[in-house]
Structure 1
Amino acid sequence: MPYSSEWLLQLLQRFLKNSAKIQQIHALLITDDHLLNKPQAPSNPKWISSLLYNALIRAYLSFNRPCSTLILYTQMLAHRTKPNAHTFPSIIKSATISSPLLGKLIHAHAVKIGVVSDPFVLTSFVSFYAELRELGNARKVFDEITDPCIVAFNSLLDAFVKNGDMGSAVLKFRSMKKRDVVSWTSIVHGFWWNGRFLEAIGFFEMMMMNREVKPNEATYVSVLSSCANLAAEGVLCRGKEIHAYIIRNEGELSAFIGTALVDFYGKMGLLGSARTVFNQMKNRELCAWNAMISSLSSNGRGREALELFASMKVEGIRPNEVTFVAILTACARGKLVESGLELFRSMSNDFLIVPIAEHYVCMVDLLAKAGLLREATEFIESMPFQPDASVLGALLNACNIHGATELGNEVGRRLLVMQPRHCGRYVTLASINARAEKWSRAAVIRRVMADARIQKAPAYSRVDPMQNLVPMSSS
């Protein structure tokens, strides 16, 4: 005896987070023809097939299978089951992840069947266009919402942020009658995302003084990342204040907050503090290991970075592309040639990771800094793609350090073709020739640079921008 559609719908809703169960129920729905639109059958009410499809679509999206949800959507249409307002939020999220072009077709279909009056559907499309960085379309959809909720406002803030329009984002934020932690975090994250680190910290301070909401994990990560990327004397003190606030109010460090703190202390040169935070983390995910290895690498502790990399593998943590960039950089800075070559080979042999441009830059830097310029040149020639400016730039800098004049001139000429307006390339090339006392060639390079009106970036001094920020509350 076949199962009823209503009973299977209840099972779907009960096991919505269980991938294996959902697939079993899905199989039953197919074999018993429950997904066919048969409104004439008494056991199959008119609305049931839409509910079944919606439940399946939500379930597969929660399992991070956006393509499966889009296939279900096409099957829904093929079986003449009409989507409703509950269908589109999940479908548009799937399209955002896997097929932006299809997302626009889905928008057109939503308009055609008349569900775009629903504010939740419209909010989903605001988020969709925000991800596509199509600010104009995001604003048009937002303006169609009669009474936008806070989620709609937050989606529009995200659209402004991703398009770099922080002025409009702040204006819209200030116009909101109600704001939640997502609203505040969107602005803090937006300033960080757009490289405006001091403003990110300042807005976080406003959030703390306002006391409307309590920061969440994303807020802390954005403000700590801003501190880590800001070269100002007072930033270390501010980062420590944020760390103290987290300890008082959050207790145990999450994987992402802990990683942000490790990165912050590492970039400040406080390896002891970075290591303390790393050791205190109970849930050390790969990102935390990567941050600690990068911290050791950037502070000239290459051998310690290699030891930590070995410990990571012993604990069963599998490295990724970012890990190898960090560890190869450590080898390059420590001139650990044999270790670097062995690690580069292990990427593909042991971990099936295909090297990308950043890994090749590290290897060229490693060989070149060790004075192995011929090996570095041969390595570049063996690359599976044409070297870009970052690869050749590493070789040019090494030629300057080791006085390889002829090779430096050859590499320099190639770089000037790629980057004719890059002042640093001209300066380095002139320096290589001046060191070799080839004054006429150095003068020609300087003259070409002057004729093209390419100026060296001037040095400057500044007042510490952190001194104007208000100290954080102790609560």
Structure 2
Amino acid sequence: MVRNLAKNTHTTAALDPPEIASYASTLRQCNRSRNLALGRTIHKKLRELGLDRVTNLSNLLIQMYGSCHCVAEASRVFATIKEPNDFSWNVMLTAYARNGHLAEARRCFDRMPRAWRGVFTFNTLMLAYARKGDLREARDLFDRMLSRNTFSWNAMISSYARGGNPREALELWRAMDIDPNSITLASALHACCELADLDEGRKIHARIKHSGLESNIILATALVNLYGRCGRVMDAQEIFHSMADSQDVVLWTAMQMALARNGRLIQASALFDRMPRRDVVSWTNMLVAHASDGDLGRAARIFGAMPERSSVTWTAMITAYAQNGRPRAAIHLFLAMDCEGFPANSVTFVTIFDACSSVADIALGRRLHAELLDLGAGQPPQIDVSLGTAIVNMYGKCGSLSEARSFFDSMPDRNAWSWNSMLAAYAQRGQTLAALDLFKLLNLHGQDPDEVSFLALFSACSHAGLLRDGHCYFVSITHDYGQRLTIDHYVCMIDLLCRAGRLAHAEELLHAMPFSPSSTAWTALLNGCEMHRDVERARGIPGRALGDDHGPYVLLSNTMLVS
């Protein structure tokens, strides 16, 4: 009887004999527990009995293999179904999507009969694209849906909010035409936090009150984060105190961050001491708070007292040293981190390459660069634009322009900082023609130069005495690129005129610029006076304009002595 029923691939669960129902139940259990070994045993038994072509059992096999990450086996089972039903197509698509096989998932979606593409189908594929960071494709699927459920809206809003697109998240939140749930509200609050949008955040808070969700720990934490980010510490404290009985470490940490972020370190420390439980995140927050306040000693003591550390903790302390003028301490701690087996992330490497630049430690920089290239067992390393720029900057500041340019040329993606790092390296080492050629290449690649780009160019022209080129770039900032001239641009032009001996023109520009002349501008003119022994012009520079630094006064004295 069982064999006869097995010939009918459309046998339904209602008509299945006890044996088939028992196998179906076991496969469901394998799916939930991800018991691949038992699942394969059942599959083998079904083949022996000739039941492996029963559609209901085949669907459950696909589901089980998908849950156990065996996509190829799931696909082979699907191929044996003569007439797949809507559940067959959906479990196969889910197996592809949840295991990162997006191309296959999309082909499955496109082959599926349109009548069977329901909300679940769209949600599954949309979420897969979003998790891979392809928000454009995810949004295209979202817009094509004839009907949406709360999951559809949550998936898209959350993906925007946590994927660096908070404005799009809020636009979608405002367009939502069904009632949100706590997940929707939390995602919208996260977007408000990213944008520091207090007004929209207050509207969402009012909706939370209206919905009776004030006691929801996730929403309370999101509100504390929002108010802390927007500088509304008292509002954050009100939310926190309304959850007085909560022992949730994430909520306590959010309140701690709100206090620390707004300069209330004493209160943050007191709250930290009262926390029912501290995790590595709360410890790291206190470390970062004191480091940001310039108290490296306290930050180091917190680091030393931590019961456990993560790569983020090590990176926070390394960054604290590097950003507070202690690059050698940052390097020493990085080496200790490596010895203790904590993996460095992209931020760690960026910080250490900058530290190597500060102390001109090209040997360590080269070693770290080689390690990055070796990561992934010979596969291309995941070097993003920020990390790549830090490598270029390190080689440039250490004086190895050939290595800097070689790596720069190998970068698949570059931003303004990448180009500026290479321009500055050429300018600082007196390679003026190379800097000018690179600037032309920048324009050919369609990259818009910014203020820093032109400052590097002026520096290169100034060192080479290229007055005409420098003046052309000065004029082109507004005429060709539509940018505003800054006081730094004027100072560079004044310096260039002075080096060329055009002291009268330099002084005229100093008085004509739409800024109050800074001590740097006056010092540039004074440098020119000393260089060209123009004592009378130097005497005309008002002493109060030189500021409190002793350097300009030494220059003025030298000018008088030379005369």
In the TM superposition, what is the alpha-carbon distance from 1:309 to its structure 2 partner? Answer: 1.4
Structure-1 residue corresponding to 2:413: 283
The one-letter code sitting in structure 1 at the alignment partner of 2:304 is: R
Residue 53 of structure 1 aligns to which amino acid in structure 2?
A: L
Give the AA of the match of 1:149. Answer: D
**Within-5 A mapping of 1:37-116:** 48=181, 50-59=182-191, 65-67=195-197, 70-79=198-207, 80-81=209-210, 83=214, 84-87=216-219, 89-91=221-223, 99-100=230-231, 102=232, 104-114=233-243
Separation in 1 of the partners of 2:355 and 2:190? 35
| Equivalent in the alignment of 2:301 | 171
| Contact preservation (8 Å) 1:392, 1:411 | yes
Please give the alpha-carbon distance, in whole angstroms, between the structure 2 residues aligned to 1:230 and 1:133.
32
1:185 Cα deviation from its structure 2 partner: 0.8
Shift of 1:24: 4.3
* Farther-moved stretch of structure 1 (19-28 vs 283-292): 19-28
Whether the aligned pair in 1 keeps the contact of 2:224 and 2:240 (CA below 8 Å) is no
Per the alignment, residue 159 of structure 2 pairs with 17
AA aligned to 1:218 is V
Secondary structure at the aligned position of 1:17 is classed as helix
Partner residue in 1 for 2:356: 227
CA–CA distance in structure 2, aligned partners of residues 389 and 73 of structure 1 = 45
Match of residue 195, structure 1, among 303, 325, 344 = 325
Aligned amino acid, residue 525 of structure 2: L
Q: 1:369–1:202: structure 2 CA closer, same or farther, 3 Å change rule? A: same
Q: Residues 59 and 428 from structure 1, CA distance in 2 versus in 1: closer, same or farther, beyond 3 angstroms?
A: closer
TM-superposed CA distance for 1:90, in Å, is 4.4
Kindly state the Cα deviation for residue 144 of structure 1 after the two structures are TM-superposed.
Answer: 3.2
Identity %: 26
State the Cα deviation string for residues 343-364 of structure 1 (Å, max 9, x = none): 2333333434323332222222
Partner SS for 1:376? helix
| CA apart distance, 1:266 | 1.2
Paired with 1:120 and 1:73, the residues of 2 have a C-alpha distance of: 20
Partner of 1:216: 345
Deviations 1:185-224 (A, max 9, x none): 111111110001111111111112222x111111111111
CA contact (8 A) 1:17 1:59 kept: no
Calculate the TM-score normalised by the size of structure 2: 0.66
In the alignment, the residues of structure 2 paired with residue 309 and residue 132 of structure 1 have an alpha-carbon distance, to the nearest angstrom, of: 42
Q: CA deviation at 1:228?
A: 0.9
Q: Distance in 2 between matches of 1:316 and 1:96?
A: 40
Give the Å deviation of 1:376: 1.4
Aligned to 2:366, which of 231, 240, 247? 240
Other-structure match for 2:551: 424
User: 1:146–1:260: structure 2 CA closer, same or farther, 3 Å change rule?
Assistant: same
Count how many residue pairs are aligned between Structure 1 and Structure 2.
401
Provide, for residues 109-142 of structure 1, a one-character-per-residue CA deviation record: whole Å limited to 9, x for no partner: 3234336753213322333444445433432332
Q: Which moved more, 1:202-211 or 1:105-114?
A: 105-114
Q: Quick one: distance in 2 between partners of 1:337 and 1:395?
A: 16
CA offsets per residue over residues 367-388 of structure 1, 9 Å max, x none? 2222221111121112222122
Residue 507 of structure 2: aligned partner = 377
Question: Closer, same or farther in 2 for the Cα pair 1:338/1:27, shift >3 Å?
Answer: same
Conserved 8 A contact 2:228-2:236: no
Task: Give the 3 Å change call, closer, same or farther, for CA 24–255 of structure 1 in structure 2.
Answer: closer
Distance 1:126 1:393, change over 3 A: farther
Superposition misfits of 4+ residues, deviation over 6 angstroms: none
Q: Hey, what does 1:322 align to over in structure 2? A: 452
Q: Match of 1:439? A: none
Moved more, 186-195 or 388-397: 388-397
Counterparts of residues 426-445 of structure 1 (less than 5 Å):
426-436=553-563
**Where do 1:437-456 residues align within 5 Å?**
none
TM-score when normalising by structure 1: 0.77
Change (3 A) 1:210 1:350: same
Q: Which runs of 5+ in 2 are unaligned?
A: 1-146
Report how far residue 88 of structure 1 moved. Answer: 5.1
Deviation at 1:108, TM superposition (A): 2.9
2: CA distance, partners of 1:318 / 1:356: 17
Distance 2:258 2:479 in 1: 39
Q: Whose radius of gyration is greater, 1 or 2?
A: 2
- 2:235 and 2:559 map into 1 onto residues whose CA distance is 59
Residues 375-414 of structure 1, C-alpha deviations (whole Å, 9 max, x = no match): 1112111222212222222222222111121222332613
Q: What amino acid does structure 2 have at the position aligned with 1:17?
A: S
Higher relative contact order structure (alpha carbons within 8 Å, sequence separation ≥ 6): 1
Match of 1:441 in 2: none
Shift of 1:25: 5.3
2:272 is aligned to 142
Local SS of the residue matching 2:399: coil
Check whether the contact 1:126–1:141 (CA below 8 A) recurs between aligned residues: yes
Alpha-carbon distance between aligned partners in 2 of 1:353 and 1:141, rounded to the nearest angstrom: 48
Contact kept? 1:296, 1:302, Cα under 8 Å? yes
| Residue 26, structure 1, aligned to residue 167, structure 2 | no
- 2-side partners of 1:220 and 1:21: how far apart? 32
Note the alpha carbon deviations across 1:250-295, whole angstroms, 9 max, x for none. Answer: 6433212221121111112111111111112122222111100010
8 A Cα contact 2:236 2:258, kept in partner: no
In the alignment, is the contact (CA less than 8 A) between 2:224 and 2:237 conserved in 1? no
Distance in 2 of aligned mates of 1:373 and 1:367: 7
Distance 1:12 1:327 in 2: 49
Contact 1:188 / 1:204 at 8 angstroms: preserved in 2? yes
Cα 1:289–1:73, aligned 2, differ >3 Å: closer, same or farther? same
2-structure distance, mates of 1:327, 1:122:
50
